[in-house]
Amino acid sequence: MTSLTRLGLRSLSRMAANPQLDKLNLRKPTEKVLYHGTKAGFKTVTAANRAFKAVKNLGSPQRLPKGGGGGDLFDLTPSDDQSALQDAARTFAMEQLRPAASASDTAYAAPDALLAQCAELGFTALGIPESLGGMGAERSAVTNALIAEAMAEGDMGLAFAALAPSAVSTALVLWGNADQQSRYLADFAGEKPPAAALAVQEPVALFDPFVLQTRAMRSGGEFVLTGLKAMVPLAKSAELFIVAAHLEGSGPALFLVESSSKGLSVEEDRSMGLRAAGAARLRLESVSVPSGNLLGEGNAAIYEECIQLSRLAWCALAAGCAKSVLDYIVPYVNEREALGEPISHRQSVAFAVSNMAIELGGMRLLTWRAASLVDADEEFGQAVALARRLCADKGMQIANDGVQLLGGHGFVKEHPVERWYRDLRSVALMEGGLLL
């Protein structure tokens, strides 16, 4: 029996006795997610020659209702269904992502078989309405944050790669019109969802996502895009991109760009961290895009929401990776002896480890709070800004303290903390790539 099969069976057994799933009408979609993880044969994602086509006339775009929450007080306890999904994601991350992390980091790419397993888990379909073939019953940023955090505990770079396609499907659900959803979302809800990526980052100093160098100009009934994107996950295998570009006469906007488009090319972009995501540069040289591929009608508020939800996703990944550092450090300082006793008995070491745990708690608290405001349909911009600042600063501090506490072991590849240090450095820099 494979580890993935054991994961599914354990999770299904736990859920079978959970009456809350029936009350919330979530048993069927949750079981379907876990069922995907028990399937023995995983199929490789179709290459970039997939032909996207409309499957049915929707009439109107399909949206998921908000999950609720918010208010002055909020409950930090995940619901039963959230716990089941998080447990499934964490088990998969520890049993599948963690063992593959070092080799993927060295290869600057995730194994195709592993990405196929990630796709088969069905987390992408969780955010797609049932009317479009998905399993989504409601929109829950908190649930997405918990899943992202759990995946990052395995490896942040691989989690970035695994969750990148869901950023595109989430964007289509949130802001796509009926034609866009009909053309693209059916594939994301299928057994072989396409590799896809949200391309916002650009290779410029002090990059500001609201001041884009990539340009889009109207030309007849099309848009023509020209520019260069950086740190695009799964760029070499992606079949669909959402590209952020400055629309002439309007401002920043999002465009659906298929990988088969003429003038689109991929270039190497080897980075310090997040190497396992297979990130590369996406060059657009007068790429023609149909007028119907403008996402959200170029609405400035939609673009701003996209950036905020992306930053919140990076906060969730930072919390998961920081937890990995802490979990690795605690047994080390308890077992490592100096002068006849564990180094954890020294006050300076004990205080450092305690501070790591305190800062991690703050990172998770602000991330969950911001996500709960998203679900409550309340203003969440300030909460996201606070979470982003704290996760960027304290995530890096936790990684640095981890390296320091390991001493020479923190500086060599035999221990994973040096990789986590490099990955956590990205939180303050990355824009796009992910969505909650």
Instruction: Write out pLDDT tens, residues 48-58.
Output: 457 777 666 77
Cα separations in angstroms, 195 against 35, 115, 259, 290: 21, 9, 10, 21
**What is the Cα–Cα distance from 160 to 181, expressed in whole angstroms?**
24
Neighbour-count burial for 215-235, b at 16+ CB within 10 Å, e otherwise: ebeeeeeebbbbbbbbbbbbb
Model pLDDT, residue 1: 41
> What does the pLDDT look like over 107-139, one tens digit per residue?
999 999 999 998 888 888 888 988 888 888 888
**Among the listed residues 220, 224, 240, the one whose alpha carbon sits nearest the alpha carbon of residue 232:** 240
CB atoms within 10 A of CB 32: 14
pLDDT digits (tens, 9 = 90+) for 73-96: 567 788 888 899 999 999 999 999
Q: Where are the domains positioned within the chain?
A: 3-53+63-193, 199-298, 301-428
Q: Which two tokens stand for residue 195?
A: 């590799």
Residue pLDDT tens, the chain, 436 long: 433 444 444 444 455 555 544 544 445 545 554 444 443 332 223 234 577 776 667 778 888 887 665 455 567 788 888 899 999 999 999 999 999 999 999 999 999 999 999 888 888 888 898 888 888 888 899 999 999 999 999 999 999 999 999 999 999 999 999 999 999 998 898 878 899 999 999 999 999 999 999 999 999 889 999 999 999 999 999 999 999 999 999 999 999 999 999 999 999 989 999 999 999 999 999 999 999 999 999 999 999 999 999 999 999 999 999 999 999 999 999 998 888 898 889 999 999 999 999 999 999 999 999 999 999 999 999 999 999 999 999 999 999 999 999 988 778 888 899 999 999 999 999 999 999 9
Mutual orientation of helices 347-375 and 141-154 as an angle, nearest 10°? 150
CATH number at 3-53+63-193: 1.10.540.10
Identical fold at 3-53+63-193 and 199-298? no
How wide is the angle at C-alpha 144 spanned by C-alphas 371 and 271, nearest 5°?
Answer: 100
Pick the CATH number of 301-428 from 1.20.140.10, 1.10.287.470, 2.60.40.1120, 3.40.50.720: 1.20.140.10
* CA distance linking residue 125 with residue 344, whole number of Å: 45
Reported CATH class of domain 199-298? mainly beta
